[in-house]
Amino acid sequence: MSQVNRLAAGGRIDRSKPMSFSFNGKTFQGFHGDTLASALLANGVGIVGRSFKYSRARGILGHGAEEPNALMQLHQGNATVPNPRATQVELFDGLVSGSTNGWPSAEFDLMEWVGKIGGKLMPVGFYYKTFMAPQKMWMTYEKFIRKAAGFGKLSLEPDPDTYDKLNVHCDVMVVGAGPAGIAAALEAGRSGKRVIIVDEQNEFGGTLLASNQTVDGVDAAAWAEQATTELVGMANVTVMPRTTAFGYYDHNFVCALERRTDHISPVSVSGSRQRLHRIRAHQVILATGAIERPLVFGNNDLPGIMLANSVSTYINRYAVVPGHRCIVMTTNDTGYQTALDIQAAGRTVVAVVDSRHAPDGRLVQAAKAAGIEVMTGHGVIEAQGSKRVTGAIVAPLDETGDKLTGTGKTLSCDLIAVAGGWSPVVHLSCHTGSRPVWQDDVAGFVPGPTIQNQHLAGAITGKYRLSEALNAGIKAGAAAAGTESAQVFNCGDESEGAAQALYLVPHTKPSSRAPKQFVDFQNDVTAAGIELAAREGFQSIEHVKRYTAMGFGTDQGKTGNVNGMAIVAKTLNKSIAETGTTIFRPAYTPVTFGALGGRDIGVLLDPARHTAMHPWHLANGAAFENVGQWKRPWYFPQAGETMQQTLNRECLAVRNSVGILDASTLGKIDIQGKDAREFLNRVYTNAWSKLAPGKCRYGLMLKEDGMIFDDGVTACLNDQHFLMTTTSGGAAAVLGWLELWHQTEWPELEVYFTSVTDQWATCSFAGPNSRKVLEKLCTDVDLSAEAMKFMDYREGTVAGIQSRIFRISFTGELSFEVNVPADQGHYMWKKLMEAGEEFGITPYGTESMHVLRAEKGFIIAGQDTDGSMTPYDCLMGWAVGKTKEFSFLGERSFSRPDTARADRKQLVGLKPKDPTVVIPEGSQIVMDPNQPIPMDMMGHVTSSYWSECLGHGIAMGTVKGGSERMGETVYCPQADGRVLAAEICSPVFYDPKGDHHND
């Protein structure tokens, strides 16, 4: 059997289900129930990766989310996943894994020599100090630094899996299914409340699964199984293993990632791979436990140095002993349990090295009784070995653990289990803005005050005994569910000695000269580096973090932060409470982008809105453009045409005969009520008091600062009924704007607004023959020039459909718009196409619409205006009522000194000096192209097109004081070195008198 470290019996693995997997190209065997980490350890694999900065060999340190070293590249091809921790990857048959770094391999790594030789030359802040200058070289440096230092690789192919998002609600949300969480969920569940309990592991139980304690006389793991069965049996309780609550947000909003198939195969065979649960809970119980701290001593990162409780977990849960000759270095009683576990597994405990001088708890006595050598008042000050720990230098410490009191001796070993005390997992409690508080008696940070409906239970509060966790769980469950419980658990664990706080084991040399003493393994941050940062003047813990990178990355300081902060505090002669802590941010462990995206990808990224005529546009080869969420026909190319040729054909058709546009996307707001007219007076610049039924008017809508915000035509259907049109993109904003003023300032006006954009389809057809087309289909309205004038509105029957007919024009030609109920829009469009066939009716899209309106100098709000243009800036003073009784929105701002300046940028026409030129939109405008840089920027080109009917390029743009500069020449310097000259002119290039639309 090649699993050299596997025990013959025990553990929660299933020996009847062997599994084959590969790591860095070699094949190994494990069992169902293993994690990748436990299987690697079972096979005696020591090195799992290389460190971030110094390329040092690294092995597995922990057994769960705290693991900083064993980041894996899993699976192959498009299924590859970078950076899961081997400790959190469930083994399945055929799993392919590898280290995320190391070149040519993690076992034999060339960068190691850079790390060794350059180690002394790469102090904290090395990159900042070294690659500062020359600045433009940074991009080059960065490429190599990232290559040398990075972890993991993404597939560049599309993700083969699907993901889901669920919105979930509950009364009580329990995070963590260790003893405290299970007890809390039992209590809350029994009350009948809707409970959700999540745990990141495959099995519920947490520490219970690797414990040799009892709960009320029942074996801990068996109790966990019984309790979980009870929870699963409750209809009101949702039990979710393999689910990580990674973020805790305001108002008790918890996000949890459920891994549904990651333990089965690289790609989900059926259904979604992962689910993102967005949970809104009335009460949240955090039972997230605690993470054991490593001890900081020389070469403490060697493979074979592991957290003590992780060693116990591997032995008891996975039947794997990761060493033969073991030293346990501890500052508290829990390390003794590990020594007992190692001995029970049949391996040698060289010694328990305890920094305390007189420990005497229950476990200490048990270890002594078992014949284990205990060295009190000692510490491991340095580990020896190169690719694997081979020995430890152990030396006597003073009472406080600050100084060595004698010379050390070397003990040979291949495993050092370190028990440096516990850090409560306060991460989630921080996400809502609550700062953790230091508690001396816990020697750790515990969650601070919060305004969330949050309860805490178990090790997160710094209470580490099993009975304390269970009893706190019952209390938290009762508090969250509003019940009372007298249940008390008995685990026989009352006697435990006090722990010692030891954050840096002293060495015979100062930290700067001693072998590297690592604090943050994932980011290669050492005690010497932190001390240097403090000496260099970084005093705020937040600055130290950013300078040293302590607590960065996927690790988020889970094992290293408290030691690091204590070292900062000591260097600055402050207490840890004074130095404080950095704040942990979501996510607790990495979340796939796939899960965050869910199904909102590809065509479902954003809803697409289609008009009623969309099938016709598709069938007739339209090219589409996005206008907000609308898909609008952009142009209708015919075979062999370039886009410009299409536009030329479409525009000429409108100018010479008739063209037809789908204008359904224009925002339409139905306005009714006896005060509708007064309301329009207040929100539009022009006067509405005298607009008669059957008439339309163009209006400009301003913000209170006097700047144009939207425009459109509003028709008076009757005295108390108006139909407002808005820009296609502005419809929702305009409706919100109208509601705002009505609800907040003028609730006394009786007026009602309804969006009817989707309810009406609009066919707009323009050109000298447009009346003839309409006359063929409509017989009950007198469409003659005398009877139905420009800006008139009628109701009538068109092609047998009751329609709203507007004689309005955005092209400058005679033009009609027919609105019909949306479900008849497609029919109406086809009828108009049939009727127009004899005139060569030509469908045109938004691009030709833009050209046609620009030839007439009509603005597009949002293209020719940008929120800093008044009507006067757009030379549209004609649209402003001067004698309106009510001070309409924005009017007062016209007289503000800045708004009234004569040299404001104004919207003018620009005629290129070279008639063949079309000036690129966005071009900057200057008066003197030879002026030295920086030039005086006079404005920019807002709209620019080729006008086939005029035979030259046309443009609109803003120019400072432009209205007073008619006839002057401006210049548009281009990126390619050309300088395009243009003459300032009226923006109305075509039919300035308006004869055509009045025909």
Query: Where do contacts with another protein occur on this chain (CB under 8 A)?
Result: 249-253, 280, 433, 451, 704-705, 732, 735-736, 739-740, 743-745, 747, 887, 891-893, 895-897
Shortest gap between Cβ of 249 and another protein (angstroms)? 5
Shortest gap between Cβ of 247 and another protein (angstroms)? 10
Which residue, 138 or 894, is less far from another protein as judged by CB?
A: 894
Q: 293-303: buried (b, 16+ CB within 10 Å) or exposed (e) per residue? A: bbbbbbbbbbb
Shortest gap between Cβ of 258 and another protein (angstroms)? 19
Which residue, 36 or 735, is less far from another protein as judged by CB?
A: 735
* 29 C-beta neighbours (distance < 10 Å), count: 17
Which residue, 103 or 253, is less far from another protein as judged by CB?
A: 253
* 775 C-beta neighbours (distance < 10 Å), count: 14
Shortest gap between Cβ of 882 and another protein (angstroms)? 13
Shortest gap between Cβ of 606 and another protein (angstroms)? 14
Shortest gap between Cβ of 887 and another protein (angstroms)? 4
Shortest gap between Cβ of 600 and another protein (angstroms)? 13
Of 759, 793, 763, whose CA–CA distance to 777 is shortest?
A: 763
Dihedral sign of CA atoms 492, 493, 494, 497 in order = positive
Which pair of structure tokens corresponds to residue 147? 């290559």
Shortest gap between Cβ of 431 and another protein (angstroms)? 12
Shortest gap between Cβ of 271 and another protein (angstroms)? 26
Shortest gap between Cβ of 608 and another protein (angstroms)? 18
The answer to whether 335 and 354 are in contact (CB under 8 A) is yes
The answer to whether 38 and 314 are in contact (CB under 8 A) is yes
Which residue, 433 or 492, is less far from another protein as judged by CB?
A: 433
Helix/strand/coil (H, E, C) string of 571-616?
Answer: HCCCCHHHHCCCCCCCCCCCCCHHHHHCCCCHHHCCCCECCCCHHH
Which residue, 451 or 966, is less far from another protein as judged by CB?
A: 451
Which residue, 280 or 610, is less far from another protein as judged by CB?
A: 280
| Residue 523 to residues 526, 551, 568, 579, 983, Cα–Cα distance (Å) | 9, 8, 17, 21, 62
Shortest gap between Cβ of 884 and another protein (angstroms)? 11
Which pair of structure tokens corresponds to residue 850? 């833009």
| Distance in angstroms (rounded) separating the CA atoms of residues 692 and 717 | 9
838 Cβ contact partners less than 8 Å away, ≥ 6 residues apart:
none
Q: How many CA atoms lie within 13 A of 224 on its CB side?
A: 22
Which residue, 421 or 598, is less far from another protein as judged by CB?
A: 598
Which residue, 137 or 900, is less far from another protein as judged by CB?
A: 900
Shortest gap between Cβ of 739 and another protein (angstroms)? 6
Chain position carrying tokens 């006394």: 748
Which pair of structure tokens corresponds to residue 18? 């062997």
Shortest gap between Cβ of 745 and another protein (angstroms)? 5
The answer to whether 30 and 95 are in contact (CB under 8 A) is no
Which residue, 247 or 303, is less far from another protein as judged by CB?
A: 247
| Distance in angstroms (rounded) separating the CA atoms of residues 534 and 529 | 9
Shortest gap between Cβ of 957 and another protein (angstroms)? 28
Alpha helices in 48-137 (DSSP H): 111-118, 126-130
| Distance in angstroms (rounded) separating the CA atoms of residues 334 and 466 | 12
Shortest gap between Cβ of 391 and another protein (angstroms)? 53
CA 485 to chain CA centroid, Å, is 41
The answer to whether 724 and 712 are in contact (CB under 8 A) is yes
| Residue 36 to residues 79, 126, 263, 548, Cα–Cα distance (Å) | 18, 34, 11, 31
Give the H or E element holding residue 996. helix 995-998
The answer to whether 283 and 310 are in contact (CB under 8 A) is no
The answer to whether 527 and 517 are in contact (CB under 8 A) is yes
Q: DSSP class of residue 27? A: E
| Residue 241 to residues 17, 131, 132, 204, 206, Cα–Cα distance (Å) | 21, 46, 48, 7, 11
| Residue 968 to residues 921, 927, 933, Cα–Cα distance (Å) | 20, 9, 22
Amino acid identity of residue 193, one-letter, is K
Which residue, 732 or 937, is less far from another protein as judged by CB?
A: 732
Which residue, 163 or 248, is less far from another protein as judged by CB?
A: 248
Which residue, 498 or 605, is less far from another protein as judged by CB?
A: 605
Which residue, 557 or 706, is less far from another protein as judged by CB?
A: 706
| Distance in angstroms (rounded) separating the CA atoms of residues 879 and 868 | 17
Which residue, 25 or 897, is less far from another protein as judged by CB?
A: 897
Please measure the distance between the N-terminal and C-terminal CA atoms of the chain and give it in whole angstroms: 98
Which residue, 735 or 777, is less far from another protein as judged by CB?
A: 735
Dihedral sign of CA atoms 727, 733, 737, 739 in order = positive
| Distance in angstroms (rounded) separating the CA atoms of residues 220 and 656 | 89
Shortest gap between Cβ of 733 and another protein (angstroms)? 10
Which residue, 251 or 403, is less far from another protein as judged by CB?
A: 251
Which residue, 194 or 259, is less far from another protein as judged by CB?
A: 194
Of 584, 603, 109, whose CA–CA distance to 387 is shortest?
A: 109
Which residue, 38 or 432, is less far from another protein as judged by CB?
A: 432
Peptide bond into 104 cis (omega under 30): yes
Which of left, alpha, beta for 7 (phi over 0: left; psi -120 to 50: alpha)? Answer: beta
Shortest gap between Cβ of 906 and another protein (angstroms)? 22
Shortest gap between Cβ of 248 and another protein (angstroms)? 11
